[in-house]
Structure 1
């Protein structure tokens, strides 16, 4: 018999600034990393005031991680040391594997002043931290949409719903990344592999995330699940929209400073020393 995942913890993101002064909410990060393995960080950015985001994220390095940017509103212009150039628009995803090292910039451009989206960082296991970097732009039309019989609509960035798979399928932590909308009278149930870390981030509406508990979760709340086989989610007083993300834990030591995440302090020092000396990039 399938075991329903219960809520282990909930919390709100904290306001902060990153890059050259971009205002955002850090949903989780350095201090929550033990609970979130293989995920490292989730930022939620959203504003109708260009002063909150226009300074952007000028050129900076990454090594040892993947960054996943998902836009809801507005655009982010991207460039990197591999020569990739592009714009991430509404409904689009950039899945970037920094691997051995990449230097890039991300410069937001609001649409009529509005900008909203997410950036998720996922860790890489030791054997893949120095892999060749790759940049994968995913157009909105390439993200499958599934409409269930329970009045929910799911955009599948990674993972599988009703036999339909998302475009990202070759990541070692076997992630699921779903954008789920439920109508006022709908619900959503979904299987998640036992042993995988799973969380939801509610960014519109409110609802219950555990059918055994009636506590209503409101918007901009993260729900971390305990282990089990499936989740059950129901809106309260209207529709709701949330990210549902899961992945296989790596269970390795983490040495993390700024944009670089390795396994040991020595590896971290080497990375920053290489950056200072101009020999950081292994792939050109």
Structure 2
């Protein structure tokens, strides 16, 4: 079985979004090796001033978002009437489809905040479907404890470990994906099988890892080569997001909250939003 290796490391960079929320961002809108993923934002702060403004109402078209919180609460509201409380350890998924207007606002004014928002592309055939939303409370995230200090949480898709398949609660993404959170102490390891047709990458949010002698550390995104096997070793106390999915071989045109296949479609999205047609 071919073991995947690290073929590229991308450093995240400071940015801000919403009402001044400070984030670390790694994106690959123009990088086919990212597909089907587009962007990973890490929200991490001990200061409410960095995030208290949240993400007031704003539009999207052509993507899905998966928001996953390690610590902190957000409240989601959208034009469809959905209201969901994203709690520590939980996740929420939204498919913008042809259009959604939503907000994500913190529900407390002090304490730590640490979480992620992942943008997932939609294939052209699904970019204009109706929007959808679902939240997943912490108790439905599938967990496997290998030792006292070695834990995997599967949020989306399926992950096979030593012949056992763990199935996350999110199964209806626009393209097949597997998204998981691995936490381990220094010296612990993680071995699994990935779909060989999927592209895969790791976002290290704590500590450092080694794969076949190549290391990556907190704040870095490691893009993996092809293969079926995955073998990771924690070289420090570590937290890692595993992102794996079936690539979409289509043009990507990105403008703000809209991701389509052509500039003409972006211009149509802007016009629809400006004239109140985005969420018809």
Structures share a fold, TM > 0.5? yes
TM range (shorter): over 0.9
Deviations 1:103-148 (A, max 9, x none): 0011123474211100000000011011111101001001111123
CA contact (8 A) 2:29 2:252 kept: no
Aligned to 1:202: 204
Following TM superposition, the consecutive aligned residue runs of length 4 or more in structure 1 with deviations greater than 4 angstroms are none
Instruction: Look up the match of 2:83.
Output: 85
**Farther off after superposition, 35-44 or 180-189:** 180-189
| CA RMSD of superposed structures (Å) | 1.6
2:150–2:183 CA contact under 8 A, matched in 1:
yes
Could you give the per-residue CA deviations for residues 203-237 of structure 1, whole angstroms, max 9, x where no partner exists? 112220x22x2x4322221111011111110111x
Which of 47, 66, 69 is matched with 2:45 structurally?
47
User: Helix, strand or coil for the counterpart of 2:207?
Assistant: strand
| Counterpart residue number, 1:277 | 275
Unaligned runs of 5+ in 1: none
Partner SS, residue 67 of structure 1: strand
Structure 2 alignment gaps of length 5 or more: none
1:171 maps to which residue? 173
The yes-or-no answer on 1:193 pairing with 2:195 is yes
SS of the equivalent of 1:118 reads strand
Partner residue of 2:4?
A: 5
In the TM superposition, 1:230-269 aligns within 5 A as 230-236=229-235, 238-269=236-267
User: 2:145 aligns to what?
Assistant: 147
| CA displacement at 1:64 relative to structure 2 | 0.7
TM-score (norm 1): 0.92
Is residue 47–residue 110 contact of structure 2 (8 Å, CA) maintained in 1?
Answer: no
Pairwise CA distance, 1:149: 6.7
Q: Equivalents in 2 of 1:172, 1:275: separation in Å?
A: 23
Inter-CA distance 151–21: structure 2 relative to 1 (3 Å threshold)? closer
Tell me if the contact between 1:74 and 1:111 (Cα under 8 Å) persists in the aligned partners: no
